[in-house]
Amino acid sequence: MGGFHGVVGTQDTGKVHHITERLVAFEYIAPNAQEKPHSLVFIGGLGDGLCTVPYLKSLATGLESTEWALFSLILNSSYDMWGTGRLGQDVEDIAQGVEYITKYKKESLGTSQAGQSPKIVIMGHSTGSQDVLYYLCSPNPVPTDTVFDKGLRHIQRPPLDGAIMQAPVSDREAVLDLLTDEEGKFRDAEGEGLYVQLVEMAKTCTYSSGNACDVILPLSMTSKLGYPPAPLTARRFLSLVSPDGPENPGEDDLFSSDLSDKRLQETFGMIATRDLLKTKLLVLYSGNDEYCPKKVDKLKLLERWRAASDKTFKKIWDDENSGIIHGASHNIGGDGEGEAREDLVNRVKAYLEDVKVSKSA
């Protein structure tokens, strides 16, 4: 349960928690603040780490007057390790973080806040949203991979009091939007050749040494697809780019606008069945997300997700607070996005208040 208090940047004061030897979480704590009973656990996207998502400062400030503490969970796939990670490993990291923080809060509160039952919510940004959905919809524990199971321990994931997805964009659509025109045709032969060569290379050389190791694709090629410069395995590349989608989508291909209703039933539609979410799901889509193709109808896409989520015996979607954050870029970090950040914080606070008072939580 140990950790140390310190300062990150100029305004981010808090405590670092060592969950395992490699897995840590940073708890935002304002000076002289008292222990809070409930926890919001933030999971960043590709390339993210500690304090790399701009709106976290606004969120931390917004939560100061509430009973919710903000944690930033640094996964094994954080920073430059995203290209060698996988959703299964991420959700096992998150499960360990949830178990640790829940136990930590119970022990920290002790008898000082008798009657309080610590609640915990996870919030994913960008690819962190894929982690959130995978946590909620995949079998529990994560099923065994018959080809490459390295790193997975198949631990049982604990239920969550709430879950938030922010900027849940499609990697497949983002990459193709970079390389193709409005009609879906490659803009130039160089881009088409690069994409085709990488896909062929990844499919033919996915693993080595008898499936014991991932194969790293040439950084000189993968860096031209708009991803942060980092080692990228053939396996993760195929999962993100999902070249056989939408008919046969990769593991990371959860948010593409052309996925079938059947596929959505296998993801959003499984949330109620897995029973890992005690309340509702909050989904926040950035209105000016630069990674979302202009042709995507965001309202229609959210409606399809809502319909798939609620097409069961249990209502999952948070109708009141979910929606589009108008004027927001992907990470809502622009100088002129103050209103968008305020909208995000207000929606999250309203949702957390609902979670706090919910009887089902």
Same domain, 178 and 107: no
**Domain tally for the chain?**
2
Q: 116 burial class (0-12, 13-18, 19+ CB within 10 angstroms)?
A: middle
Query: Given a cut of 50, is residue 7 above it in pLDDT?
Result: no
Query: Given a cut of 80, is residue 2 above it in pLDDT?
Result: no
Mean predicted lDDT score pLDDT of the chain: 92
Query: Given a cut of 50, is residue 4 above it in pLDDT?
Result: no
Same domain, 24 and 138: yes
322 within domain boundaries = yes
List pLDDT tens digits, range 218-242. Answer: 999 998 888 878 999 999 999 999 9
Residue with tokens 């008919």: 247
- If you average pLDDT over residues 95-107, what whole number do you get? 96
- Can you give the CATH number for the domain in which 312 is found? 3.40.50.1820
Range of the structural domain that residue 44 is part of: 3-170+255-357
140 within domain boundaries = yes
Same domain, 77 and 54: yes
Same domain, 58 and 203: no
Same domain, 339 and 232: no
| pLDDT given at position 115 | 57
Query: Given a cut of 50, is residue 202 above it in pLDDT?
Result: yes
pLDDT-wise least confident of 7-21, 125-139, 238-252: 7-21
328 within domain boundaries = yes
| pLDDT given at position 9 | 42
Same domain, 139 and 210: no
| pLDDT given at position 360 | 52
Q: For residue 146, name the pLDDT band (cuts at 50, 70, 90).
A: confident
Q: 13 burial class (0-12, 13-18, 19+ CB within 10 angstroms)?
A: middle
Query: Given a cut of 70, is residue 149 above it in pLDDT?
Result: yes
- Report the 10 Å Cβ neighbour count for 138: 20
List pLDDT tens digits, range 262-281. Answer: 999 999 999 999 999 999 99
Same domain, 237 and 339: no
155 within domain boundaries = yes
- If you average pLDDT over residues 244-256, what whole number do you get? 97
248 within domain boundaries = no
250 within domain boundaries = no
Same domain, 60 and 8: yes
